[in-house]
Amino acid sequence: MEKNWTKIFFSTNPNLVDLLVTLLEEKEIPAVSINKKDSSYTIFGNIELYVKDTDVEESKEIINLYHERNS
């Protein structure tokens, strides 16, 4: 991963991470997911979500709001 990017979320659910990437990009926040699941045993590992350091706080607020509305 390039410098100045911070991991703000991780999950074993790729659909959730993709949804969060889409939500962030709709707010013009660049976001990247990295799949760190084991290719042989997909029950091990996570998908990680990264944003630029300057977008960390706003991104966390968006993710928290999503979880509040969908819990």
Confidence of residue 1 (pLDDT cuts 50, 70, 90): low
Q: Which DSSP string corresponds to 10-69?
A: EES-HHHHHHHHHHHHHTT--EEEEE---SS-TTS--EEEEEEGGGHHHHHHHHHHHHHH
pLDDT tens digits, 18-48: 999 999 999 999 999 999 876 676 678 899 9
Please, what's the largest Cα pairwise distance for the chain?
A: 36
pLDDT at res. 56 = 98
Whole-prediction pTM value? Answer: 0.87
pLDDT at res. 42 = 64
Report the CATH number of the 5-69 domain: 3.30.70.1530
| Residue-range domain boundaries for the chain | 5-69
d(CA 69, CA 58): 17
